[in-house]
Amino acid sequence: MAVARKVPTYCYQCVAGPDLLNVVVEDGVAVKVEPNFGVKEHPAGGRPCVRAYSLVQKLYNPNRVKTPMKRTNPRKGKDQDPGWVPISWDEALDTLAGKLRAIREAGFVDENGYPKLAVTFGAGGTAPAYLGGFPAFMSAWGGPLDQGIGSGQGMKCVHSEHLYGEFWHRAFTVAPDMPHNTYVLSFGNNGDVSGGVIGIWRHAEARGRGATWIQFEPHMSVTAATAAEWVPIRPKTDAAVLYAIMHVTLREHEWRRVCDVDFLSRMTNAPYLVGPNGYYMRDPSSKKPLVWDEKRGMAVPFDEGDGDGFALDGEHPVSGIEVGPDEEIITHDRVAARPSLQLLHDFLAPYTPEWAQTIADVPAETIRRVARDFLAHARVGATVDVEGVTLPLRPVAILLGKSINNGWGGYECCWARTVMAALVGALEVPGGILGTTIRLNRPSSNRMESVRPGPDGFMAQPLNPTSKDKWQARPTSRSAHKTLVPLVSDGSWSGALSPAQLPWLFMEDAPSKWPEPTPPEVWIVGRSNPAISNWDTDLVISKLKKFPFVAAFAYTQDETNWFADVLLPDATDLEAYQLFRVGATKYVESYWDHQGVALRQPVIDELPYDTRDLTDVGTELARRLGLLERYNEALNRGVALGVPLRAGEYDVSLEPAKAHTSSEIWDRACRAATLSLSNGRDEHDLAWFQQHGTYLVPFSRLNWYLHPEMVKKGLRYELPYQEQLKRIGGELKNRLHEQDIRWWDTQLEEYQALPPWKDFPRIWEKVAERFGKKPDDYGLWLLTSRSMQYSWGSQASLPLMADIARHVRGHFGVMLNNTYAKSLGIADGDEIWVESPIGKQKGTAILRAGCRPDVTVAIGQFGHWATPVASDLDMPNLNMLEPMDLSLIDATGSGSDLIRVKVYKA
Amino acid sequence: MRWGMVIDLRKCVGCQTCTVACHEENALPPGIFWRHVVDVEVGEYPDVRRTFLPMGCQHCAEPPCVPVCPTGASQQRKDGIVFVQYDMCIGCGYCAIACPYRARHMVQDHTWYFGEATPSEKQAHEPERYGVMTKCTFCKHRVDKAPAGATPGVDPEYTPVCVSSCIANAMHFGDLDDPQSNVSTLRDQHQPGVLLEELGLKPSLFYITE
């Protein structure tokens, strides 16, 4: 009879986690994964999703990199076998430390101004849950470090939402408040695949009680399948339908009856008067924006009064100033000024449902119907009691999917979605849309505390400066985030959120007046496969070959670490320690009634291979480089651990001069976290967590909603009018033009206060011309769609997941509309070519009725040629067909995962 | 007592978490799934419906797989669970032909995901299942472990793993004969249907569709 025990741990193979689970270990061997039913506080009953069940196979995978290796073939190329030979951990770490020491001795920055050390980790924010203490080593490094060499971020994330969402309502990620919501308009948001177990659980519960979800999407995804209605919209036209919904709301309904006038007056810039140049009319002495006080018949600063009686429409004679870019003052004497909402009303005039129908192929009557239903479900005026506090109840939400939410059109969609929420007061209140995460503001663990008063009655936002004296003219990272993207700020996440494809693109062809990006002297890469997950992978590979020294934390051989010089075998999910925050409000739809921490831990005593905990790797590198004190002090400050080891009420800090083991370090983190969460009541050590797994305390549901905090601090959302963006865009344009840089001009056009519709599909149609091809030859859209089974976590290398994924439509081929395919003589199962202007991929045709005739879909990211198991999968990859081209990159630095193609029988 | 399931198709998202949880719980070999979710698409563009249909042994009250078994290996318990007594099975396959739900699976040779068995595969696999018919057991090894006071279908440890792992709360297990049970309440509320009702096999899996 086997002796079995259950080891609690977590899975964070996607940002919707951590998902709590138990690993069953029999006779010292991990045999299976189970939900952790003991955590009653988990909103989805302690259940992990399908991917977590692969963790045992992931642990014992015989194709893993089992010991440190060094390259013996000095030539690098796809056709060059690296010639790996096993080495000891000491030799591997000495080699890496030697390279790093040389940088420290010769200077951190190269002749072009770029950091000599670059790191690229993980995707979608999952990396921090697996890096252990390594970020403390990065903190101790003591010099600039480039995190902007991209692994697909900006193209594979909801980038516009990240930047604009956090700017508008502290919403790096946006979620519907599903426990209260009754009506969702989803534009490509595949939440029943990407929403995590909590999102999926809550969506299902909502369907069970009769909530309505309408899915606009070019193909019938899993979420479209579970929705009440699928509306097959033409790709990249979502903004047109959203604008038409706004048009119907403000121009076809009696807007004062359907909108939340009180919310607009008190909580937004709807009453702010705008002058003839498009900037707020301001009081000349205080420079405060002016509103029109209808009771007094005069313009007053916005903070004179609480919004009652402020005009939301009309045109009013106002004297004052406008402040343009670079503090340019424009003085007016009794000029006609209109409130922001009136400007929006006027702006929307051309965007009728009939206009949208011609663009989006969505019937005008459908647009009017969903707008009407949205307004009815918004229940303007309704309230709900949340823990004894009366809050507005607005159970409606508009959600956006990945390729709607990034690249050209992403700004317009995010803006329209957020404005619609503001119009009915469904922003940051029960039932509406909520932010769950912040990444650019501080403290990152507390959205409420991040709400600080800023200029003009809005929240403060740490923008990268665009003024003449403070703008960073010479980029200090290869993705130039401080130079080109004011919204992305300059925090620890900013590099990874920057235009991360620019380094690859500019290493190929540096634009004029720009310091040519150089390959980093040392590149550390882990839990990431940029040679698969970027666009134009051939371009990426051609640059990777020139990286002089690459150290890769490696799970298996893959397409990126093929170019490495040293492989450091990565401890997988079930092999290393880490304490990680759970609960509160987090990415995607993870918002709880509790908050706390969970332990990831080695589930078996004897690990199968010679892997090493990343915390120990960080410690060893710090020791070898003489950085131990700085490293330990970083840990003591809470870097990597998520909680300081020394705070006012407690001190469990590490002795600075000593090299501590991973278990010692995480033991301190366990103690600090429990002391911090319990206000000194509880102190639990590592041994306690090894047994119990998770520690939770209550988390007030009032913290789900920003509204009470905004009211308390007397702040407004900068919606609908984008005066600040218009001004900083103008300043950035001035700065770049002063340097004679014109290649970012198209991106600068995004900074508009009321962004008009642009012919977004045309941007992709024109790609063919750039490559000397005819656009008409590429009549289909190629899109991607998320696979729950395969996204992240090296699942592509696990045969179990291939076995599972074959039950879900669309895997292992290319989806096409059945009628269209037949017109080309293509039958289900036929081998076909999918060809874009830059290349072609072969795949198996999967014919479907649930796909627009002008669309083809390739799930996920594949096309592996070095990763064991994955390279045997017949899965084409859009990335190989999409050019890395400046014309496809928007002002935030992101791009949309779609390209025009043609298909034909192979 | 008769164990059964009520499956809410409005909630199922076809994620296959139940599929993989069953596969791991029962240490099944590659390519063998005692249950999985069928991804069904019907209609013509743009009038299309896509539905996710969890499928496995229906544990029929009148199981056609039982009387055709020449050795008596294919059996039905008093609580309705249909199972195979492996040491009596000769692997003739009659029961598989008789089953209209394609719920029976036979593996002749040992196979492993990477060619050779991993430590977990070695530890968990059950040699008695080769060369004989296998199928969903309603996780009777979990159900039968329920101590006094615990209720399969309510207490997840003693519930079939497909139900207790479901991340959409779409599946429910309980005693169909108990009018107060969770599954009876759901049947009263939603009047769920069964698959191939016209065959008169009285399946124990009920599906809520609207």
Tell me the CATH number at A724. Answer: 3.40.228.10
Among A403, A451, A287, A470, residue whose Cα is nearest residue A761: A403
Distance from CA of A191 to the nearest CA of B (A): 10
Nearest residue on chain B to A809, alpha-carbon basis: B39
**Sequence-distant (≥ 6) Cβ neighbours of residue A279 within 8 angstroms:** A322, A323, A324, A330, A723, A726, A727
| CA end-to-end span of chain B | 27
With contacts defined as CB-CB under 8 Å, which chain A residues touch B45?
232, 817-819, 849-853
CATH value at residue B88:
3.30.70.20
Domain ends where: A748, A774, A800?
A748
Q: A139 with A169, same domain?
A: no
Q: Do B123 and A27 touch (CB under 8 A)?
A: yes
| A95 is a domain residue | yes
With contacts defined as CB-CB under 8 Å, which chain B residues touch A789?
15-16
Q: Whole-angstrom Cα distance, residue A326 to residue A328?
A: 5
In this structure, which long-range contacts are made by residues A666-670, counting pairs with CB atoms below 8 Å and at least 24 apart in sequence? Answer: A666/A577, A666/A578, A666/A579, A666/A599, A666/A615, A666/A641, A668/A635, A668/A641, A669/A579, A669/A641, A669/A642, A669/A643, A669/A645, A670/A579, A670/A597, A670/A599
| A773 is a domain residue | yes
* Letter string b/e over residues A629-644, b meaning 16 or more CB atoms within 10 A of that residue's CB: ebbbbbbbebbbbbbb
Residue B116: which of A62, A222, A232 has the nearest Cβ?
Answer: A62
Q: A303 with A418, same domain?
A: yes
Q: Do B19 and A804 touch (CB under 8 A)?
A: yes
Using N-to-C axis directions, what is the helix angle for A364-378 and A353-360, rounded to 10°?
Answer: 120
**For residue A887, what pLDDT is reported?**
95
Q: Whole-angstrom Cα distance, residue A280 to residue A343?
A: 12
Q: A179 with A208, same domain?
A: yes
Half-sphere CA count of B5, side-chain side, radius 13 A: 29
Assigned token pair, A142: 């003591």
Range in A173-177, A499-503, A591-595, A728-732 with the lowest mean pLDDT: A499-503
Q: A201 with A348, same domain?
A: yes
With an 8 Å Cβ cutoff, is B150 touching chain A?
A: no
Confidence of residue A835 (pLDDT cuts 50, 70, 90): very high
Assigned token pair, A903: 């298909």
A 181-240 near B (Cβ less than 8 A): 192-193, 197, 200-201, 203-205, 207-208, 220, 222-226, 230, 232
With an 8 Å Cβ cutoff, is B51 touching chain A?
A: yes
Check if the beta carbon of residue B133 is closer than 8 Å to that of residue B74.
yes
A563 vs A493, residue with greater confidence:
A563
How many other C-beta atoms can be found within 10 angstroms of the C-beta atom of residue A441? 22
Q: A386 with A295, same domain?
A: yes
CATH value at residue A885:
2.40.40.20
CATH value at residue A86:
3.40.50.740
Nearest residue on chain B to A201, alpha-carbon basis: B168
Q: A797 with A862, same domain?
A: yes
Distance from CA of B68 to the nearest CA of A (A): 30
Output the CA torsion sign for A483, A488, A492, A495: negative
| A398 is a domain residue | yes
Per cent of chain A over pLDDT 70 is 100
Q: Whole-angstrom Cα distance, residue A156 to residue A15?
A: 13
| A551 is a domain residue | yes
Beta strands in A639-722 (DSSP E): 646-647, 650-651, 694-698
**Sequence-distant (≥ 6) Cβ neighbours of residue A564 within 8 angstroms:** A71, A82, A525, A550, A551, A552, A554
Residue A208: which of B10, B19, B37 has the nearest Cβ?
Answer: B10
What's the whole-number mean pLDDT along residues A308-331? Answer: 97
Q: A718 with A807, same domain?
A: no
Beta strand A694-698 pairing with A590-600:
antiparallel
Residue A124 scores a pLDDT above 80: no
What's the whole-number mean pLDDT along residues A222-244? Answer: 98
With contacts defined as CB-CB under 8 Å, which chain A residues touch B31?
803
Assigned token pair, A752: 């508009």
What's the whole-number mean pLDDT along residues A173-202? Answer: 97
Residue A819: which of B14, B21, B45 has the nearest Cβ?
Answer: B45
Distance, CA of A184 to chain centre: 21
What's the whole-number mean pLDDT along residues A246-251? Answer: 98
Q: Whole-angstrom Cα distance, residue A97 to residue A103?
A: 10
State the residue for tokens 């969890």.
Answer: B54
- Structural domains in chain A (count): 3
Q: A182 with A75, same domain?
A: no
Q: A290 with A314, same domain?
A: yes
Q: Structural domain of residue B141, as residue ranges?
A: 3-208
Distance from CA of B69 to the nearest CA of A (A): 30
Domain ends where: A569, A589, A604?
A569
What's the whole-number mean pLDDT along residues B150-177? Answer: 98
Interface test with A, best of B8, B28, B120, B122 (most A CBs within 10 A): B120
Q: A338 with A367, same domain?
A: yes
Check if the beta carbon of residue A574 is closer than 8 Å to that of residue A25.
no
Q: Do A29 and B123 touch (CB under 8 A)?
A: yes
| A615 is a domain residue | no
**One-letter amino acid of A832:** I
**For residue A1, what pLDDT is reported?**
62
Check if the beta carbon of residue A398 is closer than 8 Å to that of residue A242.
yes
Residue B135 scores a pLDDT above 90: yes
| A594 is a domain residue | no
Residue pLDDT, tens place only, A525-555 = 999 999 999 999 999 999 999 999 999 999 9
A322: β partners = A330
Residue A223 phi/psi, 5° resolution? -70, -35
Confidence of residue B138 (pLDDT cuts 50, 70, 90): very high
| A412 is a domain residue | yes
Q: Whole-angstrom Cα distance, residue A724 to residue A751?
A: 9
pTM (2 d.p.)? 0.97
What's the whole-number mean pLDDT along residues B80-106? Answer: 97
**Cis peptide, bond prior to residue B46, ω within 30 of zero:** yes
- Structural domains in chain B (count): 1
How many other C-beta atoms can be found within 10 angstroms of the C-beta atom of residue A844? 16
Alpha-carbon separation of residue A200 from A348, A427, B11 (angstroms): 35, 22, 9
Q: Do A57 and B10 touch (CB under 8 A)?
A: no
With an 8 Å Cβ cutoff, is A45 touching chain B?
A: yes
What's the whole-number mean pLDDT along residues A121-149? Answer: 90
**For residue A791, what pLDDT is reported?**
87
With an 8 Å Cβ cutoff, is A872 touching chain B?
A: no
Confidence of residue A641 (pLDDT cuts 50, 70, 90): very high
Residue B24: which of A32, A37, A818 has the nearest Cβ?
Answer: A32
Domain ends where: A554, A569, A584?
A569
Residue pLDDT, tens place only, A744-777 = 999 999 999 999 999 999 999 999 999 999 999 9
Confidence of residue B210 (pLDDT cuts 50, 70, 90): confident
Q: A340 with A373, same domain?
A: yes
Q: A336 with A479, same domain?
A: no
Among A109, A13, A116, residue whose Cα is nearest residue A58: A13
Residue pLDDT, tens place only, A575-588 = 999 999 999 998 89
Q: Tell me what ipTM this predicted complex has.
A: 0.97
Q: Structural domain of residue A115, as residue ranges?
A: 69-145+466-569
**Sequence-distant (≥ 6) Cβ neighbours of residue A204 within 8 angstroms:** A226, B8, B10, B11, B12, B13, B168, B169, B170
